[in-house]
């Protein structure tokens, strides 16, 4: 059994997930808004109209790297490996267009919408999961991306 | 409303969110692609991230249903659409492809600016460019439609 899921960190995952849930709950119950990162990014850069104030959107976005930095400082977590910049640019464009066209990403649809049992969000989540799985299968078959 | 009451909840929410993404492995593209590698060397870690977040938020939605207004705001402003269209599917599919290629989605990309600012910047810049492109295209179509009429 030890070879199966050798790299999995279920406890880290659960702790991280509960923190994300609490963060989204604070946004919902505290500010009355959905913690959807793509929507908040579009709001902060004036690429979308929303009820959230521009300053609140920037505060949330500013918090993301602050939290990640704090965790790295406490746990000694180091910088991960990322793909080369041309691949990041192509992927970023797809993520930017796709999340606006589909009205949300992993946080807004995947966490906030699915937990609300929103059918739109469940369809969106099933779709981006399936597309992500298919993409990894194809790119791994082609020898991986670097 | 005082500045602290307005700014602290979104800042704390963002920091807790970014910390959770980091601990859970969402900011590690290898782990994300391992999670999406369902038919290969599948890494189930992110199942626990999604599960933990969804369970906490399911409780939050129950509390929200009993509240007349949010704790630090005047009213709830929540999405209410229930229709399905091609844009929901096509947009989510494009997003999923980008997510699978780079192993990054919007939250972890912004959070990663803390540890790898120069490496992740091209992704974040391209993401904003993509959002801007999406905003421009329908406006152009609308402009063309009004010209035609």
Per-residue pLDDT of B30-84, as tens digits, reads 999 999 999 988 999 999 999 999 999 999 999 999 999 999 888 999 998 988 8
Q: Does B68 touch chain A (CB under 8 A)?
A: no
Q: Does B3 touch chain A (CB under 8 A)?
A: no
What confidence category does residue B139 fall into, taking pLDDT thresholds of 50, 70 and 90? low
Q: What is the pLDDT of residue B16?
A: 98
CA distance A134 to chain B (A): 8
Return the structure tokens found at B51: 């599960």
Tell me: pLDDT of A106 over 80: yes
Q: Does B4 touch chain A (CB under 8 A)?
A: no
Where exactly are the structural domains of chain A?
10-141
> Is B43–A10 a contact, with Cβ atoms under 8 angstroms apart?
no
Contacts across the A-B interface (CB distance below 8 Å): 506
> Is B115–A69 a contact, with Cβ atoms under 8 angstroms apart?
yes
Q: What is the pLDDT of residue A49?
A: 80
- Determine the Cα–Cα distance for residues B145 and A128; give it in Å rounded to an integer: 31
CA distance A90 to chain B (A): 7
Mean pLDDT, chain B, as a whole number? 92
**Which residues of chain B does A132 touch, with a Cβ-Cβ cutoff of 8 Å?**
36, 96-97, 99-100
What confidence category does residue A2 fall into, taking pLDDT thresholds of 50, 70 and 90? very low
Half-sphere exposure of B1 (CA within 13 A, CB side): 12
**Mean pLDDT, to the nearest integer, of A3-12?**
82
How far CA A98 is from CA of A21, A29, A94, in Å, comes to 24, 28, 6
Q: What is the pLDDT of residue A1?
A: 41
Question: A36 or A48, which is more confident?
Answer: A36
Question: A56 or A4, which is more confident?
Answer: A56
Tell me: pLDDT of B121 over 70: yes
Dmax of chain B from CA atoms? 56
With 0-12 CB in 10 A as exposed, 13-18 as middle and 19+ as buried, what is A84?
Answer: exposed
**Which residues of chain A does B112 touch, with a Cβ-Cβ cutoff of 8 Å?**
65, 68, 80, 82
**Mean pLDDT, to the nearest integer, of B121-136?**
96
Q: Residues A115-139: pLDDT tens digits?
A: 999 999 999 999 999 999 999 999 9
Q: Which residue from B83, B119, B126 is facing A82, i.e. has the nearest CB?
A: B119
Dihedral through CA B126, CA A50, CA A104, CA B29, nearest 10? Answer: 40
- Determine the Cα–Cα distance for residues A103 and A105; give it in Å rounded to an integer: 7
Q: Does A54 touch chain B (CB under 8 A)?
A: no
Q: CB count, 10 Å around CB of A133?
A: 18
**Mean pLDDT, to the nearest integer, of B103-130?**
97
Whether the Cβ atoms of residue A23 and residue B20 lie closer than 8 Å to each other: yes
Q: What is the pLDDT of residue B142?
A: 60
With 0-12 CB in 10 A as exposed, 13-18 as middle and 19+ as buried, what is B97?
Answer: buried
Tell me: pLDDT of B149 over 60: no
**Mean pLDDT, to the nearest integer, of A48-55?**
86
- Determine the Cα–Cα distance for residues B75 and A86; give it in Å rounded to an integer: 43
Return the structure tokens found at A56: 């609140």
- Determine the Cα–Cα distance for residues A19 and B19; give it in Å rounded to an integer: 7
Where exactly are the structural domains of chain B?
3-148
CA angle A134, A135, A140 (to 5 degrees): 105
Tell me: pLDDT of A68 over 90: yes
Helices (H) and strands (E) in chain A, counts: 6, 0
- Determine the Cα–Cα distance for residues A51 and A40; give it in Å rounded to an integer: 10
């Amino acid at each position: 059994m030890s070879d199966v899921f050798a790299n999995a960190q279920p406890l880290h995952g659960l702790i991280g997930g509960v923190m994300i849930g609490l963060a989204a709950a604070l946004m919902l119950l505290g500010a009355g808004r959905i913690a959807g990162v793509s929507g908040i990014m579009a709001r902060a850069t004036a690429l979308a109209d929303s009820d959230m104030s521009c300053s609140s959107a920037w505060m949330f976005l500013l918090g993301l790297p602050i939290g990640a930095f704090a965790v790295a400082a406490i746990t000694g977590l180091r910088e991960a490996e990322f793909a080369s910049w041309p691949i990041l640019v192509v992927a970023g464009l797809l993520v930017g267009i796709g999340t606006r066209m589909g009205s949300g990403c992993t946080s807004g649809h995947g966490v906030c919408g699915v937990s609300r049992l929103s059918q739109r969000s469940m369809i969106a989540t099933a779709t981006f999961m399936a597309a992500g799985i298919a993409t990894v299968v194809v790119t791994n078959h082609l020898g991986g991306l670097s | 409303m005082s500045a602290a009451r307005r700014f602290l909840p979104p800042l704390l929410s963002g920091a807790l969110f970014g910390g959770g993404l980091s601990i859970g492995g969402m900011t590690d593209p290898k782990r994300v692609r391992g999670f999406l590698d369902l038919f290969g060397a599948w890494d189930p870690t992110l199942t626990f991230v999604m599960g933990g977040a969804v369970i906490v938020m399911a409780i939050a939605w129950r509390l929200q249903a009993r509240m007349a207004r949010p704790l630090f705001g005047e009213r709830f402003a929540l999405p209410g659409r229930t229709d399905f269209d091609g844009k929901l599917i096509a947009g989510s599919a494009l997003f999923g492809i980008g997510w699978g290629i780079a192993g990054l989605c919007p939250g972890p990309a912004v959070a990663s600016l803390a540890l790898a600012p120069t490496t992740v910047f091209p992704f974040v810049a391209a993401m904003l460019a993509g959002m801007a492109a999406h905003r421009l295209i329908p406006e152009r179509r609308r402009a063309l439609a009004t010209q035609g009429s």
